[in-house]
Amino acid sequence: MDIKQYIRGALALPEKDDKIEYFNVKGRISGNVLVNAQRNCPTPAYTYQVDITGFWEEYQKLKSSCDYHLTFNTLLMRLLAEGLKAAPRLNAHLEYNHTSSCGRLIVKDHIDVAMPVFLESGETFPIKVKNIENKSLREIAQQVDDLLERLHNTDMDQVLFDLVAQRMVGFAMRGKLLSTISQIATGYIGKYKVAKVSDLFKKVPRDSHTLQIDELNEATVCLSNWGPLSDNLKGCVTFSPLLYPQVFLMSVGNARDKEYAFKNEAGEVEIGVKKELPISLMFDHRIGGFGDVVPFVKRLDEIFEHPEIIREW
């Protein structure tokens, strides 16, 4: 082994024929948010399997009878809003100083849901569905349809560059000058760049038919809808980092049929089928304990036990 091979092994450098993919602008934004989440948020998770047999049947009836585009994802968004109304401290942003251990919880008076969607590249990125706290299912469904339509009309790279610029201003104003300069420099110079310097002066028309920056920046809560997005998923997300400075995230898997044994009125054992939905709830432990999540879970249980309530939504 020569010295070059020795150093390459010590540094775990890529081999000559390895394929190297550098982060694009979406990857850099997501990476920054998720790393900050892991560094800043002590996050426990509560996962449970919910019997939604009746809830699913009511959803199917409502979907077949309503005159708008109703998806299970839209219904879950309204379900999330109902839970947050019962547990408002989960619909908040947290500011925390690691040096002094001082912090403050900013409980939001509106519910903005970050909802991951598939981009044309095959990647996912959250867009924000705003102010759903008092909206009907019809209104939420129409808002989601409008967002998805405008997503297809949007130059995502350019709007993400604008989002990065906004965040760099925020970093600088918080005194993180070195990080700001480093991220700007590597964004446009060197092998890690995601754009040309000339793109700084590129003007892309943006109007009511395209997404705006405020529909991509921080929401008040996140609905991680990996199950509804991917029909073939059989597992359940048991943990996901919070989108800092949010303090709560609801992750939902696929609704699936499950066989179970039960005793009938005659005391005989029979096999039946029920619909189950895996739900995981992640929360920032600094806002308190699991007691903050209990009202949320109880409200969801009430809805699943009396699913006819969704007719009023």
- 231 to each of 129, 255, 256, 305, how far by Cα in Å? 22, 9, 10, 25
Instruction: State residue 203's pLDDT score.
Output: 59
* Residues 275 and 58: beta-carbon distance below 8 Å: no
List pLDDT tens digits, range 73-99: 999 999 999 999 999 999 998 887 777
Instruction: State residue 22's pLDDT score.
Output: 64
Per-residue pLDDT of the chain (313 residues; tens, 9 = 90+): 678 776 767 767 777 776 766 666 666 666 666 666 666 677 778 888 889 999 999 999 999 999 999 999 999 999 999 999 999 999 998 887 777 778 888 899 899 999 888 777 767 778 889 999 999 999 999 999 998 888 887 777 777 766 666 666 666 666 666 666 666 666 666 666 666 655 555 555 566 678 777 777 788 999 987 765 666 666 667 777 788 788 899 998 888 888 888 777 777 888 888 888 889 999 888 887 788 899 999 999 999 999 999 999 9
Which residue's entry shows tokens 């948010």? 33
Among candidate residues 87, 140, 136, the one with its CA nearest the CA of residue 113: 140
Instruction: State residue 191's pLDDT score.
Output: 62
Encoded tokens for 34: 């998720």
